[in-house]
Chains A and B, each alone.
Chain A
């Protein structure tokens, strides 16, 4: 309510001010039209008196000022005409100074001053000097700022700059221009800063805000400075920068220091910054401790980085001025000077420096390590970081080298890299680890030594194992995503040297085994596959380079693998372990290591018997077993018998009949291997199929009994397909008759009244029959065989 009232009052005052201004402007216009200088001066002074108000906020005051500004333009034109009519500009310059009130007087003086410079009756520098000096009379911050802003506005195209028509005759004409702008800048900044300290303390925030609105008035001077042609590097270095910095440092005002430093950085050219780094940086530790120096420095480094990126031809400049050393040194000093700088700030600084270094000195890993080291020094010895801003910056800091080099190798060479990771809290550590992993995956970086792998896994341990206090059990999508990434990472590790590769595997194993039950199901499989890949590679090599005295033998690897899989047993993921065992068995098979393969199978069977209780899992597992076993050729008769026997046994013991049936007919393949003459047991093939038929029959009967209708003929059709398969393979026990009988049986089943219509079964049968027909049509040996089958 109170503030509403203030705003309303302000509106009122503003409109009163505007009304007064317009009224006097009207009289002024009439005086101008009738060339009445005396009245023109009188009314313009009265008009400008409206600007003497103290009641308006900067925003509203600006509105009033702009109106006055427009009027002053007209007055300026009039003054100019007046001088061409013979009125002496010098007289005019004196005349306006007769005004009793200082503010109108100075506005008029600036206006006439502008005409004075244009007339060139006096050197621009003298007039400017006088104007800027006279403006000291306005010490009221708001009014002073606007007056000086007006001065800056009317003078900016009249500076005695090199190449300007107002250029002075003496050598240091630019100096005069610079001096003028600098002085105006200094005074404006003083006023601006003073604003903060005037008025009641409770409105401090409001004043801060209002000052924020005015900052561009001050900053504009720096812009003008940067536009002066004559300000070359030398002058910038010797005069402009030291003077500006002196003011910035001495004003001891947080808002001003931050804004102006930023202004300097943005307004002047990059190469100037580079050549004056030392000066610019030396100002930073002198700023108020509440100033956000880190942002300032970051912006500077960002600019320099961009500059460095603009072309390689500028890089020598950087080397020449030892930009890195200076920046690094200065950052150290700033951090030292500002004791209570938030850690986020510190990290931001280092992150910026790092970006800069990567851009300018991509080859200097030592620099980068140095930066990280400094960062570690700052971070260590305190609690792990929980500040979200800081952690974000750290992630940026750590990601930068990865992005630059696209190669984790480089990061692993940085001794301080892991030490920073140590300082992170668990969440961030994990996040960072993720970034690293993603980076590796994206760039397909190949990490090929155990040592590096060890370092890497140490680095990403946040993903590899539970860090203290982080034991919640739910597996959210993020977690799964992370672990999948780790799995991919494991896959990507590769060394051409098998021995080294084994070491890599061992190292990985060491790390992932600490991962706990949540992670193992994700991390073990890739490791196993990676190991098996090595096994296969070894095998190939052995073929080519036989007799190689290798310490890395498949056996050794299998031992390792066994131990690894065993780790899974503590977690109830038997089906996974079973699958892995079978994979291993197959690999062992390829290596002709019968005992090993047998052992793997045994393990798989044990798991099947003891751990896998879910009937659905059983079904999939038994099919896996059968499939794998079918491909095994390493086993001797006995071993094979034992294993096949067990497998068929398991098949028959499945809970659901259709599952039984399918498992059993699958078992038939165990006794018939196309490419192994030794494994061709026709009898047992038939036995299996018949058994399957029996079970299928039983299924139908059960269906009749329980539901009053026979079930689908699907099982029969499936069995028919097996018959056809073996028939085609030439299993003599499978006779044409048996096939024909089966077809007939199926037809009966499907045509029976009680049988429900089953489109899938119909289609299946139809395509089976089509296949038979197809084979017949094809002719040849197989076709001849099929010709025997008649419906």
Chain B
């Protein structure tokens, strides 16, 4: 029995260990099978180095036509399943064709790798980075081992960060003005703002602020747009009643303070390799007593602020 099982088992085990694997930051990532695993994090232009150890199973030898390690950056569209677009592909030959009898270790290094895009798991698209070790054989197929890693790219605080101010309304029914303190937020930022009610003639039940992510994939006629609401935050219960717009009396203002940290947000991605883009919007929604919704959407830019700064 053991023999039979042994026959289907890979002839050797491959371990990929990164040079600073112990000290490197890791994040939890949900795999397709539902398990979360901890995965190391890299930045753009970091050097990725480590060791590969190959250990044949108990005394068997492994014949191979060569061993290589690849660093791949892939974009996967869900509606086009199975097709990966590699936007980055680096290869290192580790060994010339031969045989391995015992545990053997190969160091590797990808110096200052260009990884301009962040790892992303969206509704219709996935961008991932992976280290792929393959032992090619004549028979029995190649033996392959993957090591995912995550790329996260901090950006500096934007030099220009204007507030968002806008006046919206329905003539003679509703007239509000809103103001968010910035147009660009980092992922742990707080949205602070105010909603001014200048005229309210509809019976507002409550007001929410939503964070929406708009993911658009493909191009041209083949564009898919998927919008998800990532946060729904109640700003107001009931409504200030204001019958007339009077220039003298100051309007009612409702404060906005939304902490972004509890939500799983990622930076805004504009045109990733001509394949997809991800944008964020603040959607102010007023709901009246008949559950009609009145809303106004404003794009905000998300960016990743260096955590050390």
Contacts and interface: CB of A to CB of B under 8 A. Distances in A.
Contact of B238 (A94, A101, A139, A197): A139
B237 A98 contact: no
Contact of B255 (A137, A144, A190, A194): A137
Contact of B262 (A98, A101, A140, A143): A98
Contacts of A136: 252-255
A134 interface: yes
Interface string B229-261: 001111111111100000001001111010101
A141 B232 contact: no
B238 A143 contact: yes
A140 B259 contact: no
Contacts of B255: 133-134, 136-137
Given A94-B259, A97-B259, A98-B262, A103 B237 contact: yes
Contact of A140 (B237, B252, B261): B237
Given A102-B234, A134-B255, A139 B239 contact: yes
Interface in B190-242: 206, 231-241
Given A98-B262, A100-B232, A100-B233, A140 B238 contact: yes
**How many interface residues does chain B have, given as a range?**
20 to 34
A751 interface: no
Contacts of A101: 234
A137 B235 contact: yes
- Interface-central residue, B234, B240, B253, by most chain A CB under 10 Å: B234
A263 interface: no
Interface string B92-123: 00000000000000000000000000000000
A153 interface: no
Contact of A138 (B237, B249, B252): B237
B257 A141 contact: no
B237 A197 contact: no
Contacts of A190: 240
A198 interface: yes
A274 B299 CA distance: 58
A137 B262 contact: no
A101 B206 CA distance: 10
Interface in A628-662: none
A509 B253 CA distance: 79
A280 B234 CA distance: 41
A190 B206 CA distance: 18
B169 to A, nearest CB: 18
Interface string B165-188: 000000000000000000000000
B81 to A, nearest CB: 35
A134 B259 CA distance: 14
Interface in A128-150: 133-134, 136-141, 143-144
A52 B237 CA distance: 9
A191 to B, nearest CB: 8
Contacts of A140: 237-238
Contacts of B259: 94, 97-98
Contacts of B206: 102
Nearest to B263: A98
- Interface-central residue, A101, A137, A198, by most chain B CB under 10 Å: A137
A98 B190 CA distance: 11
Contacts of B261: 98
Contacts of A103: 237
Interface string A181-215: 00000000010001001100000000000000000
Contacts of B231: 100
Given A98-B259, A100-B232, A100-B233, A141 B254 contact: no
Contacts of B262: 98
Contact of A137 (B232, B236, B241, B249): B236
Contacts of A105: 234
Nearest to B200: A139
Contacts of A141: 238
Contacts of A52: 237
A139 B252 contact: yes
A137 B254 contact: yes
A764 B160 CA distance: 131
Contacts of A133: 255
Contacts of A97: 257, 259
Interface string B149-169: 000000000000000000000
B158 to A, nearest CB: 24
Interface string A73-98: 00000000000000000000010011
A133 B257 CA distance: 11
A198 B254 contact: no
A133 B253 CA distance: 9
A100 B234 CA distance: 6
Nearest to B240: A139
B97 to A, nearest CB: 56
B236 A139 contact: yes
Interface in B55-113: none
Interface string A93-116: 010011011110100000000000
B194 to A, nearest CB: 9
A103 B238 CA distance: 11
A102 B236 CA distance: 7
B241 A194 contact: yes
A790 B248 CA distance: 120
Nearest to B194: A136
A136 B257 CA distance: 12
A143 B257 contact: no
A103 B233 CA distance: 11
Given A97-B259, A98-B262, A137 B237 contact: yes
Nearest to A106: B237
A196 to B, nearest CB: 10
B241 A197 contact: yes
Given A97-B257, A134-B255, A139 B237 contact: yes
Contacts of A98: 259, 261-262
A143 B262 CA distance: 27
Contact of A134 (B239, B252, B257): B257
Given A97-B259, A136-B255, A102 B232 contact: no
Contacts of A100: 231-234
Contacts of B234: 100-102, 105, 137
A133 B249 CA distance: 18
B253 A198 contact: no
B68 to A, nearest CB: 47
Interface in B22-56: none
A780 B154 CA distance: 147
Interface in A354-371: none
A151 to B, nearest CB: 14
Nearest to A143: B237
A101 B231 CA distance: 12
A293 B292 CA distance: 44
A691 B141 CA distance: 174
Contacts of B239: 139
B180 to A, nearest CB: 16
Nearest to A141: B238
A198 B205 CA distance: 12
Contacts of B254: 136-137, 139
A253 to B, nearest CB: 12
Nearest to A97: B259
A140 B237 CA distance: 6
26 contacts: A97-B257, A98-B259, A98-B261, A98-B262, A100-B231, A100-B234, A102-B206, A102-B235, A102-B236, A102-B237, A103-B237, A105-B234, A133-B255, A136-B253, A136-B255, A137-B234, A137-B236, A137-B237, A139-B237, A139-B240, A139-B252, A139-B254, A140-B237, A140-B238, A143-B238, A144-B237
Given A101-B234, A136-B252, A139-B238, 20 more contacts: A94-B259, A97-B259, A98-B261, A100-B231, A102-B206, A102-B234, A102-B235, A102-B236, A134-B255, A134-B257, A136-B253, A137-B234, A139-B239, A139-B240, A139-B252, A140-B238, A141-B238, A190-B240, A194-B241, A198-B241
Q: 3 closest Cβ contacts across the A-B interface? A: A140-B238, A139-B238, A102-B234
